[in-house]
Structure 1
Amino acid sequence: MRARILLPAVLAAALFAATACGSGGTDSDSAAQVPPSQTASAEQESADAGESGAAQVPEVLRFTGTTVDGKAFDAKTLAGKPAVLWFWAPWCPKCRAQAAETAKVAAAYQGKANVLGVAGLDKNAAMKDFVSQTGTQDFPHLSDEAGDVWKRFGVTEQSRYVILDKDGQTVYEGVLPAGEGLAEKVAGLTG
């Protein structure tokens, strides 16, 4: 029984350790590694839209978390606009290189698209330091120490972007070195 409990944890740790800073992965313009987003039942979508008058919430955006600064976060707030989910780790140099362009895109498309950092593979204190040091505090960052959001989107290595259209469909999943091309991808969804 003990092996059944420890084996999944050991496998997950090995998987994360093997993906050191995005090396060994392939850059892909497809969403092959990301599970297809599924919309919730019509009843639930109607209830969500009716309660708030907001956009319908696709299944892919039905998760919650806590930001690196300790605030509750509900991904339903991303519904109705394109969204960039940036998966990063505080010790990753590639992630640090993407920070400036990601912050620039978040500011340029504020109100038209959402940007969410999803920090993992370390402790919250290191995540907070990364946000402060990189000047990315103007958009929310989840503290995903347990890797729940990473698993939800099928992300197995840091410095990855998952870009969703306004309906929650994945339109891009991959690495953008130094964030190059991020602005163009978001512009194509908002223009």
Structure 2
Amino acid sequence: MRLALFFLFVSYISVNAQRKDIEVDIGDSFPAFELKNLNNKTVTLEDLKGKVIFLNTWFNGCKPCVEEMPELNKLSNKYKDRVLFLSMTLDNKEETKEFLKTHPYNFEHLVDAEPFLKDVLGSKAYPRNIIIDRNGKIQFITYGLPHIKRPEDKEPIMSDFTFFEKPLLKVLSL
């Protein structure tokens, strides 16, 4: 019995050691993609070569995704001349257009991205913000704006867009 458990354990370790987790990480090259935008134009990673990209992944039923959008709009407004602000959403074109009528979001939106986000990017939680340098390397990843608790607040409050400025400026200086 002990021997059988030992071999089962060794097999488990061996299989999992060979399995590469698909989740991307800082320093990785951002995976190639081919997705449609709201105008039905195909956008690829190759099209974005040489640009600093701030990528937000989201879907319209995600409360934290929607909560951070006004702050991401502020970031976009401040750096729009130097950074490409791109979103990938699980939602389709029609759902996204309808959502944007009541929730302004100043990014370029790539729709129907669920297969890419889950199977290629390894997204398990939303929102996720990724800063990609001009060479296509991932330089920063976070799952949404963090919440902070100040002594005077009873509940944690969401950070503002300045949370992203330090890593964004670092990538812009590369």
TM-score bracket, normalised by the shorter chain, equals: 0.5 to 0.7
Partner residue of 1:188?
170
Q: TM-score, normalised by structure 2?
A: 0.66
Partner-residue secondary structure (3-state), 1:176: coil
Q: Which residue, out of 131, 134, 141, partners 2:100?
A: 131
Q: Which residue, out of 46, 52, 66, partners 1:96?
A: 66
Alignment of 1:70-149 (within 5 A): 70-120=40-90, 122-136=91-105, 138-149=106-117
Q: Assess, with a 3 A threshold, how the Cα gap between structure 1 residues 69 and 131 changes in structure 2: closer, same or farther.
A: farther
Partner residue of 2:28?
37
Aligned length: 137
CA RMSD in angstroms, aligned pairs only? 2.5
Larger Rg: 2
Paired residue type of 1:93: K
Q: TM-score, normalised by structure 1?
A: 0.61
* Residue ranges of structure 2 left out of the alignment (5+ in a row): 1-21, 146-157
* Residue ranges of structure 1 left out of the alignment (5+ in a row): 1-31, 39-59
Indicate the percent of aligned positions where both proteins have the same amino acid: 19
- The structure 1 segments of at least 4 consecutive aligned residues displaced by more than 4 Å after TM superposition are none
Partner-residue secondary structure (3-state), 2:139: strand
Cα distance in 1 between the residues matched to 2:159 and 2:95: 21
